[in-house]
Amino acid sequence: MKFDDVLCPFCGCLCDDITVTAEGGRVTGVDNTCLLGTSKFLGDNRLKNPIMRTDDGWKDVTYDEAIASTLDALLEADRPLLYGWSGTHGEAQCIGVHMAELLGAVIDNTSSVCHGPSILAIQEVGHPGCTLGQVKNRADVIIYWGCNPTEAHPRHMSRYTTYADGYFLDNAFRDRTVIVVDVRRTETAELADVFVEIKPGGDYAVLSALRAMVRGRDEMIPDSIAGVSKEQLRHIVEICKNAKFCAVFFGVGLTMTRGKYKNVRNAIELVDELSRHTKATITPMRGHFNVYGSNEVNTWMSGYPYAIDFCRGIAFYNPGETTAVDILARKECDAALIVASDPAAHLPSKCIRHLANIPVVQIDPYPNMTTAFCNLQIPVAVSGIDAEGTAYRMDGVPIRLRKVLETEYPTDTMLLGRIYEAMMEVRGR
């Protein structure tokens, strides 16, 4: 069977033009995907059934047993952590927030180790952004700062920027100027008209200088900043000020270096400053296909995009205190539910050591690093392959994930729904 216009559940590009062929309960072919999407659709390494850790290995358990065991672990805890959420659909994320509220848990998503700092920056200065189609149709200057779309968002340049057809551009590729700013010459940098190589940790200083230069304070800027010559900075300022539409994209190059959200804030304020001269927008290159959805869901349900502590009943928010890395590293939780992410592959080892010492339940279709650190893993359908639901693209556009396979696996919504209902029975309304 052939399905057109399927969504790719991999990265924040959320491409929705994929053709998928499925035969005999498996995906047998895909078209239009990048390598990342292809591997996800064709991957076939699912966990077959729930597994539970025993004293000397692993045993298979039923879904009923798994749910009962999950309840025990979470209801007994004084400070459970519910972490992950970016690899599932919005409907499941909603149940997660209700669950956190009922349990008095901390709920955090993977944006705390991805674009969490961007959110902190936005909370200080706001976010002049747009949907990706605005960029595609109008932007004549594209800046990629601290990101590497060729490896992390492979179709970004062909769908939305450099190579995309645009209504107001005669020849998109020729008419656009692409500037890449990074600490190394990535493959993306090879495709740029201008490559700015910056010393690691120097982004903040360079962004401050650019802001001052856009404001006409050129004279006080030293000849070189963090390895970038003033001449090159001047050139960039000229390109941006003369642009009709300047679109900045930034990645975790800004959020993961020292200074974190201050780097992002400085980039946003540069765009604010440019907005006084021309049209300028800025967009974070969100990683997982629905990490932004998790922020959206958390926000309308609880008021905050991530790192929400419901221990006292009300929602309390303070990244740095209520974020997963901090809680795990300080050993401040006594049980964890991991949904649709793999912290053991992506968090510092001190966090993982704590996971090894507390009850951990993981809900995920695939065996992963966290499998080795959980007491129980419950496999589910894969969102976007055998489960439907809502996902939010990196620019906030919500699209419905399609389903191309029938499945015996429960979806995240079904499984979490059952767990939540069972919790309500115990805790009461």
Partner 1 sequence: MMRVLLEVKPRKKPLLPIEAECITPASFLEERDLTVWKGNRELMLSNVFNVSVTGEVDSVDGVEVVLRGETSRIKRVGEYMEGGRIIIEDDIGMHCGNFMSGGRIEVHGNAAAWLGREMRGGEIICHGDAGDYCASGYRGEKRGMRGGRVEVCGNAGDFAGEHLSGGSLIIHGDAGDFPGVEMRGGEIMIFGDCTRACGNMTGGRCHVFGTVHEMLPTFRNMGEVVHEDTGQVLTAFRGDVANRGKGNLFVGNYQYME
Partner 2 sequence: MSELLVKNAYVIDPVNGINGEVMDIAIRDQWIVEEVGSGAMVIDAKGQLTLPGGIDSHTHICGTKVNFGRYMSPEDMRAGRMPRRGSMHATSGYSVPTTYGNTYRYSTMGYTTLLEGAMAPLEARHTHEEFTHTPLQDTMANTLFDGNWAIMEAVRDGDMRRVAAITAWTLSAVKGFAIKLTNPGGTEAWGWGEDVTCIHDQIPHFEVTPAEIITAMITANEMLNLPHSVHLHCNNLGKPGNYTCTLDTFDLARDLNKNRQTLYATHVQFHSYGGSSWKDICSKSEEITRSLNSKPHIVFDMGQVLFGRTTTMTADGPMEFNLYRLHHNKWSNHDVELETGAGIIPVLYRRSNLVNSIMWAIGLELALLTDDPWQCCLSTDSPNGAPFVRYPEIIAMLMSRRYREEEMSSVHPGTEHRVPLPAIDRELDWEEIAIMTRAAQAKALGLIDIGKGHLAPGAEADIAIYPIQIRDVDPSVDYMKVKEAFATTAYTIKRGRVVARQGDCVVDGINSTIWVDPQVPPEYDISNDPEFVKKFDRYYTVRMRNYPVQDVYLERQVCLRPEVSL
Partner 3 sequence: MRFILNTGRTIVQGCHVEDKYSETYAGEVSTCRMNLLDMLELGVEEGEYVSVTCGSGSVVLKVVAAGEAIPCGSVFVPYGPYINHIMPEDTHSTGMPDFKSVVVVITPTTEPRKTLQDLIEDLGGRMYEIR
The residues that touch partner 2, with contacts defined as CB under 8 A, are 4-5, 7, 16-17, 90, 94, 98, 101-102, 119, 122-134, 136-138, 159-160, 165-168, 244-245, 272, 275-276, 278-281, 295-296, 299-305, 310, 312-315, 317, 388, 390, 392, 396-400, 429
Window 137-156: residues binding partner 3 (CB under 8 A): 148, 150-152, 154
Residue of 171, 220, 300, 406 that binds partner 1 (CB under 8 A): 220
Q: Work out how close the CB of 351 gets to partner 2 at its nearest, in angstroms, rounded to a whole number.
A: 24
Window 220-279: residues binding partner 3 (CB under 8 A): 252-253, 255-258, 260-261
Residue of 2, 26, 59, 185 that binds partner 3 (CB under 8 A): 185
Is 98 near partner 1 (CB under 8 A)? Answer: no
13: which 2 tokens? 């590009």
Of residues 138 and 393, the one with the C-beta less far from partner 3: 393
Is 295 near partner 3 (CB under 8 A)? Answer: no
Residue 11 bridge partners (DSSP): 288
Residue 208 touches which member of partner 2, partner 3, partner 1, none, C-beta under 5-8 Å by kind: partner 1
How many Å separate Cα 309 from the centre of its chain? 20
Q: Provide the 8-state DSSP code for 111.
A: G
Of residues 268 and 378, the one with the C-beta less far from partner 2: 268
Residue 220 touches which member of partner 1, partner 3, partner 2, none, C-beta under 5-8 Å by kind: partner 1
47: which 2 tokens? 């966990």
Tell me the one-letter amino acid at 257: T
Is 356 near partner 3 (CB under 8 A)? Answer: yes
Residue 225 bridge partners (DSSP): 228
Q: In sequence order, which residues have a C-beta less than 8 Å from that of residue 219 and are 6 or more positions away?
A: none
Is 226 near partner 1 (CB under 8 A)? Answer: yes
Residue 366 touches which member of partner 2, partner 3, partner 1, none, C-beta under 5-8 Å by kind: partner 3
How many residues at the interface with partner 1, by CB under 8 A?
47
Q: In sequence order, which residues have a C-beta less than 8 Å from that of residue 212 and are 6 or more positions away?
A: 218, 220, 221
CA distance 174 to 300: 42
Q: What are phi and psi of 278, to 5 degrees?
A: -155, -175
Residue 168 touches which member of partner 2, partner 1, partner 3, none, C-beta under 5-8 Å by kind: partner 2
Least Cα distance to 109 among 390, 404, 278, 343 occurs for: 343
110: helix, strand or coil: helix
How many Å separate Cα 122 from the centre of its chain? 16
267-298 as b/e: b if 16+ CB within 10 A: bbbbbbbbeeeebbbbbbbbbbbbbbbbbbbb
Least Cα distance to 385 among 22, 17, 13 occurs for: 22
Residue of 25, 29, 320, 348 that binds partner 1 (CB under 8 A): 320
Residue of 44, 55, 56, 78 that binds partner 1 (CB under 8 A): 78
Of residues 144 and 373, the one with the C-beta less far from partner 3: 373
Q: Work out how close the CB of 303 gets to partner 1 at its nearest, in angstroms, rounded to a whole number.
A: 11
Q: Work out how close the CB of 199 gets to partner 1 at its nearest, in angstroms, rounded to a whole number.
A: 7
30: which 2 tokens? 């895909």
How many Å separate Cα 321 from the centre of its chain? 20
Q: Provide the 8-state DSSP code for 409.
A: S
Tell me the one-letter amino acid at 297: V
Contact track, partner 1, 240-269, x by CB under 8 A: ------------------xx--x--xx--x
Residue 279 bridge partners (DSSP): 245
| DSSP output for 65-79 | HHHHHHHHHHHH-SS
Q: Contact residues for partner 1 (CB under 8 A)?
A: 77-79, 103-105, 120, 123-124, 199, 201-202, 204-205, 207-209, 211-212, 215, 217, 220-222, 224-227, 258-259, 262, 265-266, 269, 310-312, 317-321, 330-334
